[in-house]
Amino acid sequence: MQDVTVVRTAVQPPYAAHLRVYEPLAAYPEPERARWQAYAAERGPDAGEAAQPVAAAVLEEQREALAELVARTPRALPERESGRAYLRVVDGVLYVCPWATRLRSWQALEELRAGAPVALLDTALPPATRAAAEADRERWRAEHPDARPWILTSRWEVPVRWFLPFGDEDRCFVPGGAAAPGGGVPGGGVPGGEGERGGRPAALFYLVPMAQARRRVARAYRALREAVPEGELARGAERVGRWLEEFHPRSLVELDYGGLVHLLGPERLLADRSAGELEEGLRALRAGDTAEALRVHEELTVRWRRVLALRYAN
């Protein structure tokens, strides 16, 4: 198997956002715990500091996936797990979010089957290839009945329900900047930088402790269930809440705009306060001001639908 770490590409990460859970190192059983500890040690003492975006690691994951595609006959999913993870360090505690590439590849295949025209799907992944991947997944499921992804991905938008675990105070915007001589990055810079070709890219993410995330989602779900029990956001709150319950209670939850920063541009990134707006709408709903709550939700939904519509732009 070739060493994919030597592969380089100037492409940006795809226009996708990610919802991640980082579990504390202590949540992993041995020998997995020791492996993640060694993995973090290889990356140095500053790897995964909470104040920093994970954009470089996202690009590394993208390169590894591209290397898999160009190195062999196309197939539906990687032959083995990558054994890699995103890292965060908060107050001296190491948190780990495994890539779980094979599991996420199976999920992406399901999404592709549901949304792509059959002719296109058969051209990209012949039926025999897909059948083999599905049989492989069934065998894997039997061996890992409790497996769940640490990462959810949404292409071309951030689903409104993903903002439920966060408040505006959890927002972290890191402006882009031009590369300094010798490859460093100077302070300041212009938001929306172009990554390796033009320096550090901008990043926008939210990070919050699991206990706070669960509390916010639960409060939102109660309010939504009472006011609009069959509403899309109420159903979304239930799905997000169930997913969060799968993880260690002292985990961290992160919403990362990922490659969407290149799609939105610097002005929109600076102005975006989607989590705070949703919070305001929920406060209005709990106070009985249904009209204001609906107004906020509609504005937020329409704004992100406009972003989603860009996937059809020529």
Euclidean distance between CA atoms 15 and 262, whole angstroms: 8
DSSP 147-185: ---SEEEEESS--GGGGTT--GGGEEEE--BPPPGGG--
Q: Using CB atoms within 10 A of its CB, is residue 133 exposed (0-12), middle (13-18) or buried (19+)?
A: middle
* b/e code 245-283 from CB counts within 10 Å (16+ = b): eebeeebbbbbbbbbbbbbbeeebbeebebbbbbbbbbe
| The pLDDT of residue 127 | 79
Cβ atoms < 10 Å from Cβ of 97: 24
Residue 205 identity: F
3-state secondary structure of 22: strand
Residue 175 identity: P
Q: Find all residues with CB under 8 Å of 59, minimum gap 6, and list them.
A: 13, 195, 196
The mean pLDDT value for 114-142 works out to 73
The mean pLDDT value for 69-74 works out to 52
Q: To the nearest 10°, report the CA torsion of 203, 206, 207, 210.
A: -150
More reliable by pLDDT, 277 or 136: 277
The mean pLDDT value for 243-255 works out to 98
3-state secondary structure of 270: helix
Residue 53 contacts residue 256 (beta carbons within 8 Å): yes
3-state secondary structure of 306: helix
pLDDT tens digits along 140-195: 677 666 778 899 999 999 999 999 999 999 999 998 764 433 333 323 333 333 33
The mean pLDDT value for 218-242 works out to 95
Query: What are 90's strand-pairing partners?
Result: 93
Residue 219 identity: R
Residue 238 identity: E
Highest mean pLDDT among 95-109, 135-149, 199-213, 235-249: 235-249
Q: Using CB atoms within 10 A of its CB, is residue 26 exposed (0-12), middle (13-18) or buried (19+)?
A: exposed
